[in-house]
Amino acid sequence: MILYINSCVRADSRTDKIARALLGKYHKEYVELYLPEEDLKPLSKELLDKRTALIEKDDYSDPLFGYAKQFAKADKIIISAPFWDFSFPAILKLYIENIYVTGIVSKYGNDGMPIGLCKADELIFVTTAGGPYIADFGYNYIKTLAIQCFGIKNVRLIKAEMLDIEGADVESILSDVIDKLPQYGTFE
C-alpha cells in the first residue's frame, strides 16, 4: 500500500500537483491522508499519559494508534509539504508527533538506539519553494527520522524551487520537475 501524506493546505497547491503526478507513475492504488482535515491533536499531558500507559501494557488496540499503525504498514510513503518558514507546515510535525509510537514505528535496542519497525522500502518527500530550497530543517529532519528511527533506508527529495521570484515561469518549472520524475527510479 502506498501512503500519501498530504500536508498541502491550498486547494491549488503546486506541491500537491507534483505529488499527484508522482503517484500517477505508480501502478498501484494509494491511500491519501489529507492532514488539514484530520483530527490531529498535540500530545497534551493527559494524552501522553494515556498513550504511555497503553504502551507499557503492550496494548496498541486504542484508535489513538491508528496513524502510527497505518504509517508502519505502508509499503511506500509519499509526503507532500510546501517549504514554509524554512521547514514545512506545522500540521506535518503534529502528524509525526502522533505516529512516533515506540512499539509500532520503532523500538529501542540494548544500546539505546532506535530500531525502525516500518515496512516501507521508500519515503519520498515532495516540496516546492518560492525561492531557493534549503533542506536543513524540512527534508533533512524527515530523512533523519526515516532512516535512523523508522528503518526506511531509501529516502528521496523531489523539489521545485524559485517559483515566486520575479519573472519565474511557474508552469515551466513545475513541468520540468514532473517531466523528470522517471529519473527518480522505477514506479512499480
pLDDT of the residue at 27: 75
pLDDT tens-digit readout, 72-116: 999 999 999 999 988 999 999 999 999 999 999 999 999 999 999
- The pairing of strands 122-128 and 155-160 is parallel
Output the pLDDT for position 28: 83
Residue 116: CA count within 13 A, CB half-sphere: 19
CATH number assigned to the domain with residue range 2-184, chosen from the 4 options 3.30.559.10, 3.50.50.60, 3.40.50.300, 3.40.50.360:
3.40.50.360
**Pairing state between β 76-80 and 122-128:** parallel
- pTM (two decimals): 0.93
Name the CA dihedral angle for 128, 133, 138, 143, rounded to a multiple of 10 degrees: 100
Domain edges within the chain: 2-184
- DSSP annotation of 112 reads S
Which stretch of 38-52, 61-75, 151-165, 170-184 has the lowest confidence by average pLDDT? 170-184
